[in-house]
Amino acid sequence: MSLESKPLYAANKRSAWWTAAGIAALLSPGLAAAADDFMDTRRMGMELAEDIARAAVLACREQGWQVSAVVVDRSAVPQAVLRDLNASRFTLQIAEEKANAVILSGVASSEFRSNREDIRPEMNQVDGILVLAGGLPIRAAGSLVGAVGVSGAPGGERDEVCAQKALESVAERLDFAD
């Protein structure tokens, strides 16, 4: 018998069964989700990540430095990667690993470096982490949503200046995130 030839009450019975099953599942103490089973998190959109990376590269370009900028999300997954024309390909890896150090520590990579000089050599052995200046946290309304790493300027402090200029260029979007 095809679905079209079944009486209408059969479809209504099926719908009623699924509704009852859903209500039973919600009321069962073993199946109900506790309030702390899930949490809301802020996530950075692709457009914002791209704007930060572009602003960092352009800020360094204005100084005559060819750099790469990598923006990672709160889980250290790259969201935006940008390399200026003459920046070495190695700057891509270094920028990403600086950003990852920020995600690990929650602070600027230069601050992490100075705060934990005692373990810096060991941290630099961790795959995907590089404890050098040039990485900054990206915070939206107080929540860490990612990090930007810059590499290629003559010194990590200069990389960090470019990253800071990039964050300043989107400060209003970060400060008033809802």
Domain regions of the chain by residue span = 3-36, 46-175
Q: For the segment 12-39, what is each residue's pLDDT rounded down to a tens digit?
A: 666 665 666 666 555 555 555 666 788 8
171, amino acid identity: A
The pLDDT tens digits for 32-68 are: 566 678 888 889 999 999 999 999 999 999 999 999 9
Rounded CA-CA distance 81/92 in Å is 8
Homologous superfamily (CATH) of 46-175 is Haem-degrading domain (3.30.450.150)
175-176-177 Cα angle (round to 5): 100
Specify whether the CB–CB gap between 144 and 117 falls below 8 A.
Answer: no
Which pTM does this prediction carry? Answer: 0.79
The helix/strand/coil state of 174 is: helix
**Which residue has tokens 């959109």?**
45
